[in-house]
Chains A and B, each alone.
Chain A
């Protein structure tokens, strides 16, 4: 039985940990003080690079690499903390904000010290009113205690934190959309390049980091790189010769919801399999697993054939899915996949910012197609092809073979792929919202095609048994493309 490994969440349930006094008792701000006393800013940047910390917001981009892109000669530089946690199925950041906001402030301080940043914006999801209240109170305390403001701890370091509530748009969680919204404009992503590291907030170099990523920093500084890298697997990236290490180090806050007995946020080492994770969350509610969404609603779905997939950045990428924000949704045999897709597509059609053409008009179109299938009005045609063979009369002739064409399924796949092609991983949209739409649409449809066909054939939603509903691995190109990553240590 796998045990939780609480680091970020270790003191989460200590009463009044949101106040400075209690937080201080539990080593609060000592890691920051250690950073100030023992390390130069560049040392910390190097430590973060060595730790292999990957951004926890969704893309899983190496934090150390991101920091190295920031030009050091342009002032001012900004830190932008992304607390616009709005991916369906994800709810880990809000606990940090509501219960342990000082941890985030400490993370911000370390990042600011390492990057020489004086101004931080925390963009908080508009619905997190309690989280914002708690964070604001904690920031106020930190100012009073001299951890924020001018000349912190007499080191000449200045850091100011400003919180900014969002107005309720999913797309403002995309880093450039967030920056536009922060600047007071319509929340629409920018064209990249230039990336925020070069031109971000107010067209100045900006580090955009998720709450969870920043919360990891105090522990990397406090306990050292070696301690950190011991957690989680390090894979070998065999694309280069010799293979380079591809670290998936640290813990991850997995938000497990759906058909499990004890849904909630679990802090676990990276690299556990789906099966282990369901076990940690109190086991499956129901008979058998039908599907698992591994990383928030935009991630391609995993079937029961793929439950051995390890839930870390590399393994899921090689399994043609993604860890994303760690929002894991488990579905049992009672769930209808067509209905699930409709739910998700409604969300995306509503949240498309409408800036660029394919997403603006493609997402509602995909939703409408799924809606039609759910309403029992999906289209299918039976065509007859000439096929030569022995006919009933015993003569050689046309046996009149018929074939059923599910037009709407082909259309669904085609339209979704026109927004962003999941096979070639190219998108015609400005931001990755496009691929977040077509990933679920195409993966649900391909992996659970029998259920879609049944809905069209029967004219109503039909929930098939798991084995029947899922396309078996030998017929599915997507499974054949799966790779099991090799550990770097094994290679040596």
Chain B
């Protein structure tokens, strides 16, 4: 640990921490643009200049130092300043304040100041720091550079005029994704970010790697803009909720940004052990199904080979009737790797305690492709909760969960199948189709019309990750919380609530009233989940032993 004096604070920080981070930990802002904790440090924006006292507490070093590249370390006793400090730093001395003003004036020299039409306004570092540290007017009266706007790839636009050439995006493509599509062209004040082009100006390579969306997040100004979010909303109108990405089993920490009419965008949230600062574009842009107009809103039942909407009471009594008619051996209950641990736990209790069946299966999205990057991996398993669903469904059953071929064999021989899906856009292969077609009475709980719902006898409208509370367990054993953002469409209900109603109609005595209560029950009965209550998980998640 190094003992440093930061302005008038005396603080202890870990060896190797830089001044920007050390100050941030203690609530002092050191403005910066090019520095990003997940990337290398070129110190080219010159915004984080600080006064450094290395030899005495009287006289600072002649040159200002950049806070991002100045790391603190505990010094040997003879080199301590005033006998106790390893280093003295001032971020509020007059010349630091003047240097910031000067740099900001330079940064705004060619900036178009088009905040009223810029997507970044409201969450723009240039805007914020200009207000807090800059001049109130510009002395620049010459002609501004107006380089052209560029289309860099499927989801990224470059408003070149707004760019401050911090090179965060270039370093991201070099270091994290390892794809290196971006670079600087021209020199001096004509520096521009660009993709490789031939002499005619036609792109040779587009910014279309699976992590490309992150460059928009790390852009400190409104230069790199997501086409998906372009002109959709002002950021300050969006409500934010911490959640987990449901795109694959990595379980990236995300912030879901939404209004009452749906989700607007998903941004990554820092988690040291899982996703660092990043997320992939599949997850980032994969939320659109939540806002889909075709979402299932009412229960449906099959009348003379056609699905017609019905009332919840009607659908539930129909299900009760059908289930009561058959033996417990003829019932297969299938949980979902897209559903939360809580959903699957209630389902497991229902199957075990009420139906007395041991035929519990697991359903989920088909296996996709794995993508490996130097500092990031997108997993092949496209379900957020395969590990959790497997453990919870099998917890009262000797850990036997039917999957793959064995599952579909059992399904083919069953009379009633209760399938909780919740998978967006799930295609069925021939074997699966055949097995499902042999079922006498197929109950499907789903969110969107799909190949599965087409074969159902009763469809119950469930909810997506954005509409419910719960926990997911990722492939590396982290249990993390998702949170409800918007209300489910129409009369759709949480999956565990639907299961609980069916169970109670069949004589069960389920009295769960919210997801946190189920998590307590999981903590009591499922091995390894002893600490996995919502309170303890919080925003950081917990890792299973």
A interface with B by C-beta (< 8 Å): 169, 186, 191, 349-358, 360-365, 368-369, 372, 411, 415, 418, 424-430
**Contacts A/B (CB < 8 Å), 28 sampled:** A169-B187, A191-B66, A191-B69, A350-B187, A354-B165, A354-B188, A357-B44, A357-B45, A357-B47, A357-B103, A357-B106, A357-B164, A358-B46, A358-B106, A360-B188, A360-B189, A361-B106, A361-B110, A361-B189, A363-B188, A369-B142, A415-B139, A418-B102, A426-B62, A426-B64, A428-B49, A428-B64, A428-B99
B interface with A by C-beta (< 8 Å): 42-47, 49, 62-64, 66, 69, 99, 102-103, 105-107, 109-110, 139-140, 142-143, 164-165, 184, 186-191
Q: Is A191 touching B43 in the complex (CB atoms < 8 A)?
A: yes
Chain B: minimal CB distance from A64 (Å): 24
**Cβ–Cβ < 8 Å partners of A429 in chain B:** 46
Q: Is A357 touching B189 in the complex (CB atoms < 8 A)?
A: no
Closest to A191 in B: B43
Closest to A424 in B: B62
Q: Is B139 touching A351 in the complex (CB atoms < 8 A)?
A: no
Q: How far is the CA of A372 from the CA of B140 in the complex (A)?
A: 12
- On whether A364 and B43 interact (CB within 8 A), knowing A358-B103, A428-B99, A428-B102, the answer reads no
Q: How far is the CA of A418 from the CA of B107 in the complex (A)?
A: 12
Closest to A429 in B: B46
Most buried by A among B99, B102, B142, B143: B102
Question: When the two chains form the complex, which single residue of B64, B69, B142 contacts A365, counting CB atoms closer than 8 Å?
Answer: B142
**Cβ–Cβ < 8 Å partners of B143 in chain A:** 368
Q: How far is the CA of A169 from the CA of B188 in the complex (A)?
A: 11
- On whether A360 and B191 interact (CB within 8 A), knowing A426-B62, A428-B46, A430-B44, the answer reads yes
Q: Is A418 touching B106 in the complex (CB atoms < 8 A)?
A: yes
Q: How far is the CA of A349 from the CA of B184 in the complex (A)?
A: 18
- On whether A358 and B43 interact (CB within 8 A), knowing A186-B184, A352-B189, A364-B189, the answer reads no
Q: How far is the CA of A354 from the CA of B187 in the complex (A)?
A: 6
**Cβ–Cβ < 8 Å partners of A365 in chain B:** 106, 109, 140, 142
Q: Is B49 touching A350 in the complex (CB atoms < 8 A)?
A: no
Chain A: minimal CB distance from B414 (Å): 65
Q: How far is the CA of A352 from the CA of B191 in the complex (A)?
A: 10
**Cβ–Cβ < 8 Å partners of A363 in chain B:** 188-189
Question: When the two chains form the complex, which single residue of A191, A351, A353, A354 contacts B42, counting CB atoms closer than 8 Å?
Answer: A191
**Cβ–Cβ < 8 Å partners of A352 in chain B:** 187-189
Closest to A410 in B: B139
Q: Is B63 touching A426 in the complex (CB atoms < 8 A)?
A: yes
Question: When the two chains form the complex, which single residue of A169, A349, A425 contacts B189, counting CB atoms closer than 8 Å?
Answer: A349
Q: Is B142 touching A368 in the complex (CB atoms < 8 A)?
A: yes
Q: Is A361 touching B46 in the complex (CB atoms < 8 A)?
A: no
Closest to B106 in A: A361
Q: Is A355 touching B42 in the complex (CB atoms < 8 A)?
A: yes
Question: When the two chains form the complex, which single residue of B42, B142, B164, B188 contacts A350, counting CB atoms closer than 8 Å?
Answer: B188
Closest to A368 in B: B142
Query: Closest 8 CB pairs between A and B?
Result: A368-B142, A354-B191, A418-B102, A352-B188, A354-B188, A364-B189, A361-B106, A361-B109
Q: How far is the CA of A366 from the CA of B99 in the complex (A)?
A: 18
**Cβ–Cβ < 8 Å partners of B66 in chain A:** 191
Q: Is B62 touching A361 in the complex (CB atoms < 8 A)?
A: no
Q: How far is the CA of A40 from the CA of B165 in the complex (A)?
A: 50
Q: Is A357 touching B191 in the complex (CB atoms < 8 A)?
A: no
**Cβ–Cβ < 8 Å partners of A357 in chain B:** 44-47, 103, 106-107, 164-165
**Cβ–Cβ < 8 Å partners of B142 in chain A:** 365, 368-369, 372
Q: How far is the CA of A104 from the CA of B63 in the complex (A)?
A: 36
Question: When the two chains form the complex, which single residue of B46, B99, B102, B190 contacts A354, counting CB atoms closer than 8 Å?
Answer: B190
- On whether A353 and B187 interact (CB within 8 A), knowing A361-B107, A365-B109, the answer reads yes
- On whether A427 and B42 interact (CB within 8 A), knowing A191-B69, A358-B106, the answer reads no
Closest to B66 in A: A191
Most buried by A among B43, B45, B47, B188: B188
Q: Is B46 touching A356 in the complex (CB atoms < 8 A)?
A: yes
Q: How far is the CA of A191 from the CA of B46 in the complex (A)?
A: 11
Closest to B184 in A: A186
Q: How far is the CA of A368 from the CA of B140 in the complex (A)?
A: 10
Q: How far is the CA of A186 from the CA of B184 in the complex (A)?
A: 9
Q: How far is the CA of A425 from the CA of B61 in the complex (A)?
A: 12
Q: Is B47 touching A351 in the complex (CB atoms < 8 A)?
A: no
Q: How far is the CA of A169 from the CA of B189 in the complex (A)?
A: 15
Chain A: minimal CB distance from B378 (Å): 30
Q: Is A428 touching B103 in the complex (CB atoms < 8 A)?
A: yes
Chain A: minimal CB distance from B339 (Å): 50
Q: How far is the CA of A264 from the CA of B44 in the complex (A)?
A: 39
Q: Is B62 touching A355 in the complex (CB atoms < 8 A)?
A: no
Chain B: minimal CB distance from A412 (Å): 11
Q: How far is the CA of A241 from the CA of B63 in the complex (A)?
A: 25
Q: How far is the CA of A280 from the CA of B405 in the complex (A)?
A: 97
Closest to B69 in A: A191
**Cβ–Cβ < 8 Å partners of A349 in chain B:** 188-189
